[in-house]
């Protein structure tokens, strides 16, 4: 087969006879030819057909050869042009060469001489293209090294897209990847494509149809403005695009994306050489992108496992349900793009909804969220929780400058918190926009919820166990009071007084609870004191008081010392007989060295003891008790605690104004 068969020659001359003769001559040599009889007609045919060589008469009507050269060379075309003329003029020849002509021949000419010029022009052009290809292959080697040197997906896409546009001199294009959740193509890099949202599917234009075809068939396409897309009745019927390349990004037999490149109508059309280069690049890019995605997925899983592990470790040290819920809120707020968190705590009569919102949340919308959580809880437990019995508490304040939260939300997830042992309540997560990687985020949230459910179950079991211990120790306290016939109810009274003083002084709920329990158990050590001492009429001897009676605080402290959830009570019971000036027992602590809770119990215990009958004396009366508290302020008692007690006593009407003096 003659090499001329793969070349198209455009012959331009206003001499029809010469045109036909040249066409016949080159056709017999195996070339394809087309004829134009003026410069304007030649430009139109050049833009449409993209010939490999032009034989051009310099003098023609409508548009001469110089104008043709200037017009076509503006578009950056490298197609060789051999200029002919019947009126030789050195200046004309120079102008033609300067305008981009490859060679010059004077009429009349020998056809063999013209053939030699044509052959040389095509060979020279082929050599230039081969050199260009070699340069591109060298660049491809360099770009391959870049692709293998990074695992950052964004950098890989930048490098790949930049190289594709540069090597093919494409004016527009895109890289589209298959979204793992929807299996739809999503543009991740683009140039010259107008989209309202870069990550939304393409409009169903020619590009969309071409990309879908490549995705489905896994084959590359080189399309000109006159060619039909295989299997579809669609061509590049667009004013701005003359040719396109579409190449699949493949890993094994799976297509993970598509590269699209476009050139304008006034540009040289893409060649098979360029298609092959982009195919080679696509192969390397596909491997690199897939490896980066795999590495990213592994890192994401490790991060998720680390988050679950860290959260589980946080929960291990928490036994209070409020601490567990606060830890949940803090973790979700920090690690997820969540805008609303709500936790419904279902109780026997009244219920509570703890919530947080990134921005302000109206009461009306909070009611709607509560209703959704109740609905899910009732479905799961076949209960009839009523919203009118729910009180609301904002667990954490909204963030500054965050926009208001307005329903409906783009994402919401309501899940009941129920277990075999008990039904706790329900959780709600919401976001203004749908979560990125929704499936992975939901899976991770579900793991967080599961860990929370376990922690709440443990908290409930711990609370039940603590309550059982408290009941047991209360029974011991009652036994102590029963042992001392004169102090029946003393421990419970001290508990109530200490609790009210704590509240008056603004002690937080957790510490106040410890002070209350310590008030109940402060004299539990007396169970180890012989009854004859507890009930002795008259004063105790030095040995009885210092050798036996004083040991009751240490005995009581040791009883609770090894009970995990009563360890906070240890020092309060141990030091409840320490005096503010350091004259107390067992260690002679003074002032701030005495635990605050012990100072509160000291005042409560003293007042209750002075106002009750004892085996060695009758009640001193409230007025005398108040007098002695005031006298002992800053000596035996913390003055701030004494003042707080007096305020409480007035409010509770434990004292009359005459008692206070």
pLDDT tens profile 639-659: 999 999 999 888 877 776 666
Helices within 337-437 (DSSP H only): 363-381
Per-residue confidence (pLDDT) for residue 195, from 0 to 100: 52
pLDDT band for 5, please (50, 70, 90 cuts): very low
Residue 487 has pLDDT above 60, yes or no: no
Lowest mean pLDDT among 200-214, 498-512, 620-634: 200-214
Highest mean pLDDT among 80-94, 189-203, 371-385: 371-385
Per-residue confidence (pLDDT) for residue 485, from 0 to 100: 56
Mean pLDDT of 122-148: 67
Mean pLDDT of 52-74: 86
Mean pLDDT of 562-584: 88
Q: How many Cβ atoms sit within 10 Å of the Cβ of residue 215?
A: 20
* Class of CATH domain 3-131: alpha beta
In sequence order, the 6+-apart residues with CB closer than 8 A to the CB of 525 are 551, 552, 553, 554, 555, 556, 557, 558, 559, 573
Per-residue confidence (pLDDT) for residue 482, from 0 to 100: 66
The closest of 560, 484, 485 to 522, measured between CA atoms, is 560
pLDDT band for 499, please (50, 70, 90 cuts): very high
Mean pLDDT of 3-13: 76
Mean pLDDT of 565-583: 89
The pTM of the full predicted model, rounded to 2 decimals, is 0.52
Per-residue confidence (pLDDT) for residue 102, from 0 to 100: 85
Residue 568 has pLDDT above 50, yes or no: yes
Listed by start position, the domains of the chain span 3-131, 150-296, 317-448, 484-660
Mean pLDDT of 590-616: 87
User: Do the first three CATH levels of 150-296 and 317-448 match, i.e. the same topology?
Assistant: yes
Question: Greater confidence, 136 or 143?
Answer: 143
CATH code of domain 317-448: 3.30.450
* Class of CATH domain 150-296: alpha beta
Q: What is the pLDDT of residues 408-465, one digit of tens each?
A: 999 999 999 887 667 888 999 999 998 887 888 888 899 998 998 888 888 888 778 7
Task: Provide the mean pLDDT of the chain.
Answer: 82
pLDDT band for 372, please (50, 70, 90 cuts): very high
Residue 200 has pLDDT above 50, yes or no: no
Question: Greater confidence, 139 or 77?
Answer: 77
Q: What is the pLDDT of residues 308-359, one digit of tens each?
A: 888 888 888 787 888 899 999 999 999 999 999 999 998 888 899 999 999 9
Per-residue confidence (pLDDT) for residue 375, from 0 to 100: 92
The full 3-state SS of 415-478, as one line of letters, equals: EEEECCCCEEEEEEEEECCCCCCHHHHHHHHHHHHHHHHHHHHHHHHHHHHHHHHHHHHHHHHH
Per-residue confidence (pLDDT) for residue 454, from 0 to 100: 87
The burial of 244, by beta-carbon neighbours within 10 Å (0-12 exposed, 13-18 middle, 19 or more buried), is given as: buried
Residue 4 has pLDDT above 60, yes or no: no
Residues 584, 578 contacting (CB under 8 angstroms)? yes
CA angle 601, 602, 608 (to 5 degrees): 85
pLDDT band for 202, please (50, 70, 90 cuts): very low
Mean pLDDT of 539-559: 79
Mean pLDDT of 62-80: 81
Per cent of the chain over pLDDT 70 is 86
Residues 528, 552 contacting (CB under 8 angstroms)? yes
Residues 89, 65 contacting (CB under 8 angstroms)? no
Per-residue confidence (pLDDT) for residue 365, from 0 to 100: 92
Residue 306 has pLDDT above 90, yes or no: no
CATH code of domain 484-660: 1.10.3210.10
Residue listed under structure tokens 């003659």: 2
């Amino acid at each position: 087969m003659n090499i001329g068969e793969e070349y198209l020659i455009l012959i331009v001359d206003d001499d029809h006879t010469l045109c036909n003769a040249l066409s016949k001559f080159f056709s017999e040599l195996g070339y394809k030819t087309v004829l134009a009889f003026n410069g304007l007609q030649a430009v139109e045919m050049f833009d449409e057909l993209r010939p490999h060589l032009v034989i051009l008469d310099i003098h023609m009507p409508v548009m001469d050869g110089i104008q043709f050269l200037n017009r076509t060379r503006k578009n950056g075309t490298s197609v060789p042009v051999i200029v002919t003329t019947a009126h030789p003029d050195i200046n004309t020849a120079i102008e033609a060469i300067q305008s981009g002509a490859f060679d010059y021949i004077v009429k009349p000419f020998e056809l063999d001489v013209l053939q030699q010029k044509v052959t040389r022009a095509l060979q020279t052009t082929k050599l230039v293209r081969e050199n260009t290809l070699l340069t591109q292959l060298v660049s491809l080697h360099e770009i391959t090294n870049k692709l293998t040197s990074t695992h950052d997906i964004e950098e890989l896409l930048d490098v790949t897209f930049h190289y594709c546009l540069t090597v093919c001199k494409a004016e527009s294009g895109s890289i589209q990847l298959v979204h793992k959740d929807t299996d739809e193509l999503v543009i991740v890099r683009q140039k010259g494509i107008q989209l309202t949202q870069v990550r939304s599917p393409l409009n169903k234009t020619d590009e969309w149809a071409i990309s879908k075809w490549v995705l489905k068939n896994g084959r590359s396409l080189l399309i000109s403005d006159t060619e039909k897309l295989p299997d579809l009745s669609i061509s590049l019927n667009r004013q701005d695009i003359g040719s396109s390349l579409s190449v699949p990004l493949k890993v094994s037999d799976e297509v993970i994306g598509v590269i699209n490149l476009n050139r304008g109508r006034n540009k040289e059309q893409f060649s098979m050489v360029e298609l092959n280069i982009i195919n080679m690049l696509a192969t390397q890019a596909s491997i690199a992108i897939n490896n980066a995605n795999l590495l990213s997925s592994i890192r994401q899983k490790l991060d998720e496992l680390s988050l679950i592990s860290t959260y589980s470790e946080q929960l291990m040290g928490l036994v209070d349900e409020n601490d567990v819920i606060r830890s949940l809120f803090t973790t979700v707020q920090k690690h997820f793009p969540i805008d609303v968190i709500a936790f419904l705590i279902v109780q026997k009569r009244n219920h509570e909804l703890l919530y947080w919102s990134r921005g302000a949340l109206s009461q009306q919308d909070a009611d709607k969220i509560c209703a959704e959580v109740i609905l899910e809880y009732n479905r799961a437990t076949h209960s009839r929780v009523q919203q009118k019995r729910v009180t609301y508490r904002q667990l954490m304040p909204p963030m500054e400058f965050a926009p208001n939260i307005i329903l409906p939300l783009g994402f919401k997830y309501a899940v009941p918190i129920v277990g075999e042992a008990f039904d706790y309540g329900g959780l709600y997560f919401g976001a203004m926009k749908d979560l990125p990687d929704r499936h992975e985020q939901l899976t991770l949230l579900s793991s967080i919820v599961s860990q929370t459910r376990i922690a709440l179950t443990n908290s409930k079991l711990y609370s039940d166990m603590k309550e059982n211990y408290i009941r047991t120790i209360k029974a011991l306290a009652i036994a102590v009071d029963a042992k001392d016939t004169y102090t029946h109810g003393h421990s419970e009274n001290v508990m109530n007084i200490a609790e009210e003083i704590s509240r008056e002084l603004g002690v937080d709920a957790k510490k106040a609870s410890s002070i209350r329990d310590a008030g109940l158990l402060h004299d539990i050590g007396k169970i180890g004191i012989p009854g004859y001492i507890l009930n002795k009429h008259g004063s105790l001897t030095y040995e009885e008081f210092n050798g036996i009676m004083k040991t009751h605080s240490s005995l009581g402290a040791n009883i609770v010392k090894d009970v995990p959830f009563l360890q906070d009570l240890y020092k309060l019971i141990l030091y409840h007989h320490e005096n503010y000036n350091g004259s107390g027992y067992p260690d002679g602590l003074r002032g701030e060295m005495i635990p605050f809770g012990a100072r509160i119990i000291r005042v409560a215990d003293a007042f209750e003891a002075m106002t009750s009958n004892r085996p060695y004396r009758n009640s001193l009366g409230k007025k005398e008790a108040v007098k002695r508290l005031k006298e002992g302020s800053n000596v035996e008692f913390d003055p701030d605690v004494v003042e707080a007690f007096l305020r409480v006593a007035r409010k509770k009407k434990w004292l009359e104004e005459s008692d206070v003096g």
